[in-house]
Structure 1
Amino acid sequence: MKLKFRFWTSSVILYLVLAAMLFYGYRNSHLMLLVAEAFALLLLLAIIYFYQIIIKPVNEIASGAELLKEQDFSSRLPRTGQPDMDRLIDLFNRMMAQLKEERLRVREQHYFLDLMVSASPLGVIILDFDNRISSLNPAASRLLKVEEATGMALDQINHPLALEMEQLQPNEQRIIRLNGIHAYKCTRSYFIDRGFQHPFILVEELTQELIKTEKKAYEKVIRLMSHEVNNTIGATNSMLNLLSSNLQQSQLSYANDFRNVIDIATERGKNLCQLMSNFSEVVKIPEPVRQPVSLKSLIGSIHLLLEAECCKREISLSIEIPDPSPVVFADMVQMEQVIINIVKNSIEAIDRKGAIAIKVSTNPTTLVVQDNGKGISPKDQSMLFTPFYSTKTNGQGIGLMFTREILLNHQFQLSLQTVKPGQTEFRVVFD
């Protein structure tokens, strides 16, 4: 039973008793009537007094409880004039002010964090307890190439990066490389919300930084190696040539044998110099001289060269170009070398008796070279385009590196992967 109800019930009962006394005194005793009237007046004053010191503060406390329940931290309780109760009300009002400031601070922090997450170049993917995406920021949408993924699991997104992130363990950080070009630093962690762990994934694209770092490193190594090798081989070959001339003028019986050995050593030195020259060419790739280039004319200029090499190995070469042919802004000489390198890799992947298809499409303008060779293993896939890495026995790892540098200088997108068994594609997107 509520205190206020009990108070008013007790008051009504007392007044009913007084009413009975007044009725009795009115009929039997004037003295009793005066006593009852005086007692009624005192009781009224007592009820008013106790209402002020008990019931009214209780009503204020009840109002404060409703304010807390409704989370209305802006309202304040008025003072009652009772020192003890006013101290409690002052404490309550200070608590409400602190709660208001704390909620305002938390809201400002949440708003600030939301702005930071939205503007961050890092991809932020927040997962729920079922490892489904509850939210992701614009950077993550751009990296995964999705507009809306809320409620989806990572393995439901058609992007190889999402499939790799699905394999991340809690508190794991990993560098993920796709197609040998794109590199991402992925971190899986969690934050605490109302006592529960919410997992999230941070994705940082390292492609440009990694390419710049690799380029600086191999440029320095190539220059140092070229300098040392060329100087050493040059001096060595000079001495060998001088020795060969002296042997030619001598009458020694073994002179010809020695000269043959010297010629072989000289030839090996020249081959080594040529190797270093090939490496140096990658460093010295000039900036592209862009001009409008018809893809039909570009492929036609090297068609006979490619077809002759394919015929030697019994490989069929087909070309599909829409009419009218798409036009791109590129350096024609450099792009010719790119296509030759791509088709040459396909020929070497097939070896003998296979098929290569060069296909051009629009919206966006894309060049695809398909082959039915042995394909690319998952291990080699992550190492493609890495400087000096090659899957060939005598490969130098220059061709793909050279191709990558030219296409990146043109700001064209590229990828090389085995899309399905028996079909490997090198894709160049010009738009």
Structure 2
Amino acid sequence: MFYERFTFRLIFKLLFINALGWLLIYLILKTKLWFTIAGLSFILITSVYTLYSYINQIRSDIKRFILAIKTRDHTLNFKNKSTKGSFPDLYNSFDDIIKTHKDIQLEQDAMFQLIRTILQQVPVGVIVVKDVKDDAEQMEIAFFNEAAATLLNVPAYKYWHRLKQHLPVFTAEIAHIRKGGKRFLELKIQDKLIQLSTEVIPLNLYGADYTIISFQNIKDEIEQKEIEAWNRLIGVISHEILNSITPISSLSDTVNSMVANKEYLNKEDLEDLKPALQTIKRRSEGLLGFVKDYRLIAELPTPELEFHSIGGILQHIHVLMQPFAAAKNIRLQVGQTSSKITVNVDLKLVEQALINLVTNSIYSLEDTENPLIEIDYRLEQNKLFIDVADNGKGIEPEVLEKIFVPFFTTRKNGSGIGLTITRNIMKMHYGSLEVSSVPGEKTIFSLVFNYV
């Protein structure tokens, strides 16, 4: 092995130098052989210098190897020394390490190019910013793909402050979610309005802070969804209006035929007119109530946000809804009312949303054995969920897609606006309303809030 050869040569040189040293001392003290002493002195100095050069050469090779690894210099090789030197196995190991390091680097470069190519081709804008703690003006843009340049109609800038000068509105909105989050942006670029769904992800790599900004134009998707929503809404409104207008129109014709060509009405005529007029009045009031419900959906107040504890919200809804549930012989179970976790909400609107969900659960529990409603909260991935669960009849999959359409209802005498109002309340809180149901087993409606 190389270390055995090295050890042998080192011991031999040290013994030889020591022997020369002792011999030289003996000659100086005991004899007058000055030419011999001079010759031995020269040999001793040469041997010490040779040993120093030998060790220094090895140290220099190790230093070159370490420097090559640090600087990723893969051109260095030790082929000659691996065959002729004192450390063939060591130098072979150096070559193997450099080759392996080179292969790893090539693989990483290939993967980087693959990811870069993919990011250049995707229709989502991606900007990666390398943060500089002391100088925000010099924050470097590490990556700026073609989709980002196209969506924002800017060149692929190298520094963040250049983009900030060109698009101050965009960069200001990004600053609001710099620590991570999602945001919906509307930008006007060259007289064209674009709507961006934007997400920011902070990342730390090898001691450097990066910010990944991804965004895509969802204007076309939103417009398509709006058209679909309007079509559904118009269909429901048309259905409700026709249901009211058709009997009113028919009865109006009947009344008109009864009074046509008559100068006065007798008692029998009046008795015949009363049911028709009462029906017209009832259907007119129904139509008026329908319009009032529509206005209720469209005119929700702007939320007045304050911090409230989840425990307080749950306790309050328990007090509000317990009498109603008890009257229907339903067990209302509310958990974690002592929780001190706070959320920034409009308490009145959130209570209204919970009242709507609990009311729906109460009606869904009709004819259910051991009816139970459970209200609780949970935290998952920066989201806070307030769940309202019941063991009622549940919601069929084909109905699940329609329950948020305004005025759609499966309940007798239901208005069909409760869930629509609840979802609008959650949208005003930048949250959402989620539902999952297993018919005949369990249904869960969840108010989902952002919780950072």
Do they superpose with TM above 0.5?
A: no
Larger Rg belongs to: 1
Which category of TM-score, normalised to the shorter sequence, fits these structures? Answer: 0.3 to 0.5
* TM-score (structure 2 length as normaliser): 0.43
